């Protein structure tokens, strides 16, 4: 008999808030242990290793987040007056499409989504090399079926009936490439893909990862408006990586358990537009002025930290994939009826004078249910000044995205 191996994972998250949307309890990354003898049962999240306890587990979600999923099913059973709700089986029932699935972010992101117990079908799209990625992932013994789609002629088929669309497609900035070069390439990619989303799955949640997010989200919004299907509650700029980094760096700096740390991050998703609200850190912790300055700058420049560590050979792909998978899982939980799902995201907003703004939001079946304004109240002097300082740059980025679409209207 093969020896039993044990592996630690720290992956997945769940967030919560008070019923009054007041101070929010911390986001958490959860650890579970599994061994080779019950690998299948713990991995797929649908059948439990111990039917008596009915503890549904998933490597991706972690035990506590899986418990949140279970609670949502129990609640449904109670509402339906079902007697046997103590042993609820999760059902994979959502379709997710990753557009740009063979890229540096797309591949690890697809793997993490494949691990979700809520996904029934995973559609992978790219202009090349996606068949091999799909074939590889299809061997993973998790519930979702993997289908591949290559090139513009197969994009519509990829999107039919999809509940969540994730767009990491685009190119990273390379040596000799100006920011305008990067913008023009990725703006056209996002425009084309969102046009297809509007035509084939207009009710889907749309997660924009392609940079610059501060501009590509407004581009996506303008495309959807011109197509007549814009729902601001269902369009998200994925800024979860800023939260993930803030939580990690603060935990390291203050010697805290990472599982307990939650730092809201507001503003945008580039440079000084990224504003971690360290004064709102949970659990409550004190920072010196020097620590606030050091941590804020590190969080804002963390992407450059990775690029330099990779010696120009790549950018932040793995951490971005992890963060995006966390946001996908949160969206799926919300779609599935979990009423306690909160994440930070760059969305249409009225919290400031800017039309788009990253803040913590409550997610529900129809997308954004509420913007959490309490995070912006009682800021420190440093944070208030930083908030005012980021607004001109964020405003310019938003306007750049809108102007791009005005010059290049969508195809009918």
Structure tokens at 319: 């951490």
Structure tokens at 39: 């690998």
Report the alpha-carbon distance of residue 90 to residue 70 in Å, rounded: 7
Q: What is the largest CA-CA distance in the chain?
A: 66
Report the alpha-carbon distance of residue 129 to residue 127 in Å, rounded: 7
Distance of CA 301 to the CA centre of its chain: 19
Cβ–Cβ under 8 Å, residues 73 and 66: no
Cis peptide before 53 (omega within 30 of 0): no
Report the alpha-carbon distance of residue 74 to residue 60 in Å, rounded: 21
Is 207 assigned a catalytic role? no
3-state class (DSSP) for residue 151: coil
What length does the chain have?
Answer: 412
* Residue that is written with structure tokens 């529900």 in the block: 364
In whole angstroms, how far apart are CA 72 and each of 77, 334, 339, 389? 9, 10, 8, 41
Contacts for 222 with CB less than 8 Å, ≥ 6 apart: 401, 402, 405, 406
Cα 14-349-408 angle, rounded to 5 deg: 110
Q: In sequence order, what DSSP letters do the residues of 330-365 get, joined into one string? A: HHHHHHTT-S-EEEEEEEE--SSSSSEEEEEEEEET
Q: Measure CA of the first residue to CA of the last residue in the chain; give whole Å.
A: 62
Distance of CA 334 to the CA centre of its chain: 13
Cβ–Cβ under 8 Å, residues 375 and 345: no
* Residue that is written with structure tokens 């797309």 in the block: 106
Cβ–Cβ under 8 Å, residues 204 and 163: yes
**Selected catalytic residue, list 123, 139, 207, 269:** 269
Report the alpha-carbon distance of residue 106 to residue 312 in Å, rounded: 19
32-52 b/e with 16+ CB inside 10 Å = b?
bebeeeebebbbbbbebbeee
3-state class (DSSP) for residue 365: coil
* Residue that is written with structure tokens 């289908």 in the block: 147
Catalytic residues: 269
């Amino acid at each position: 008999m093969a020896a039993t191996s044990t592996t630690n994972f720290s992956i997945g998250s769940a967030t919560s808030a008070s019923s009054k949307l007041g101070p929010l309890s911390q986001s958490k990354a959860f650890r579970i242990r599994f061994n080779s003898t019950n690998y299948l049962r713990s991995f797929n999240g649908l059948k439990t290793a111990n039917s008596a306890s009915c503890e549904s587990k998933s490597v991706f979600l972690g035990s506590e987040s899986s418990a949140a999923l279970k609670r949502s099913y129990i609640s449904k059973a109670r509402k339906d007056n079902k007697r046997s709700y103590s042993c609820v089986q999760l059902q994979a029932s959502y379709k997710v499409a990753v557009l740009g699935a063979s890229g540096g972010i797309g591949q690890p992101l697809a793997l993490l989504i494949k691990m979700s117990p809520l996904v029934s079908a995973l559609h992978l799209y790219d202009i090349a090399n996606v068949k091999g990625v799909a074939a590889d992932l299809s061997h993973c013994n998790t519930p979702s079926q993997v289908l591949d789609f290559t090139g513009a002629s197969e994009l519509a088929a990829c999107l039919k009936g999809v509940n969540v669309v994730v767009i990491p497609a685009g190119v990273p900035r390379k040596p000799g490439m100006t920011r305008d070069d990067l913008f023009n390439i990725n703006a056209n990619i996002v425009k084309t893909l969102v046009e297809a989303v509007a035509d084939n799955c207009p009710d889907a949640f749309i997660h924009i990862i392609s940079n610059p997010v501060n501009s590509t989200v407004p581009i996506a919004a303008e495309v959807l408006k011109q197509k007549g299907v814009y729902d601001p509650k269902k369009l998200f700029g994925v800024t979860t990586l800023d939260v993930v980094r803030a939580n990690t760096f603060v935990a390291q700096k203050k010697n805290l358990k990472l599982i307990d740390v939650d730092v809201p991050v507001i503003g945008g998703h580039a440079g000084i537009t990224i504003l971690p609200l360290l004064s709102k850190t949970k659990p409550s912790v004190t920072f010196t002025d020097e620590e606030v300055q050091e941590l804020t700058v590190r969080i804002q420049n963390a992407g450059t930290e990775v690029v330099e560590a990779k010696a120009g050979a790549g950018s932040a792909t793995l951490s971005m994939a992890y963060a995006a998978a966390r946001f996908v899982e949160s969206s799926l939980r919300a779609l599935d009826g979990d009423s306690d799902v909160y994440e930070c995201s760059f969305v249409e907003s009225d919290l400031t004078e800017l039309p788009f703004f990253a803040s913590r939001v409550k997610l529900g079946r129809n997308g954004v249910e509420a913007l959490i304004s309490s995070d912006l109240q009682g800021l420190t002097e440093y944070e208030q000044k930083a908030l005012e300082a980021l607004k001109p740059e964020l405003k310019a980025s938003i306007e750049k995205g809108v102007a791009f679409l005005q010059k290049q209207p969508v195809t009918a």
